[in-house]
Amino acid sequence: MMSNTNLQASNVFRTEEVRKLIGNLDTQIGSPGGEMDPMERSRLGDRFRVHISKLVDLLGKPNVSDFFPVLARFDLQGIAKEMRGVVVEVERIFDCFIDAKVKSMAAGGGMEGEERSKDFMGILLELKDKQLGEGSTFGLTQIKAILMDIVAGGSNTTATMVEWVMTELLHNPSIMQKVQQEVTNVVGANNVVEESHVSKLHYLEAVVKETFRLHPPLPLLVPRYPSESCTIGEHTIPKGSRVFLNMWSIHMDPHVWENPLIFRPERFLNDNSEKFDFIGNNVEYLPFGSGRRVCPGIPLAEKMVMYLLATLVHTYEWGLPEGQKIDLSEKFGIVMRKETPLIAVPYHK
């Protein structure tokens, strides 16, 4: 995620997954009730997706013990019990991944040889093996915790944002037409979208930015804990306080954004395309945070979201099941997802 060279080198994996998604969608078209969740096939498998989704929901639930720590040991709402059950199931899936990786490394690298074995999990397993012995603090538990952070923090938010963009495009047909026209002009009507096309899709980028403004994936970002007491405006923030940044409120501020409730990608075009970037240079637009605690996965997420969306709108026409309307209601949590999943119908152009 933090090496441009490795990010470019991993293009083959992103291409492979997008091609799989399109293959699955082609299979769905023409089948009875050919409607489907367009993001379903882009996640990590049904079983894994369900557990990670449940975990994210539990992390975002209001918990009485957050306000009265003395009650934490009683687990009055049953959240801790539910959390333990979900974590156990996710650990079992990680065990399968890790076992497969260990066998692949023992066999000499697996399908693509040594280059493919040197992925992130392979490096973590090598590090664990080097630290074997008494007093070692890095083992399988730590590896699974790191993987949990990456999967819960990365895959769920990425799939959620693709779903929100598709929702807004279906809700705004004229904007969908502009996006499709731009992708056709850049890619060609009979060509396949490649990741190299993404940097030229300026209107689609504006659509994605506007979706992040209206539906920030982490509406309160990740809590901050100041290492020293400080004063901001007229407020004193004590050392060690838990601080939330309400990005949803900032992105809806009418003093900053004209008609903030309206989906209008044009606000991110021309000079504003650089003014409002994803890396937090403007305090009025911080969907991924800013500074040393900015999301490290921005380059990967931007590539994946743009590439996937460009492929979906270029390959198919999209509609809704008969009699259904777009639902823009939000489900509050640590990740702001749709209250009801988007069900859309793809058609061959």
Distant-in-sequence, close-in-space partners of 196: CB < 8 Å, separation ≥ 6: none
Distant-in-sequence, close-in-space partners of 303: CB < 8 Å, separation ≥ 6: 7, 14, 195, 198
Instruction: Look up residue 319 and give its amino acid.
Output: G
295 is in an annotated binding site: yes
Distance CA 334, CA 219 (A): 7
Burial class (CB in 10 A: 0-12, 13-18, 19+), 10: middle
| DSSP states along 269-298 | STTHHHHS-SSSSSTT--TT--GGGS-TTH
Distance CA 280, CA 289 (A): 6
CA atoms within 13 A on the CB side of 318: 31
Looking only at Cα atoms, what is the longest distance across the chain?
65
Residue 174, number of CB atoms within 10 A of its CB: 6
* Residues flagged as binding site for heme: 295
* Residues flagged as binding site: 295
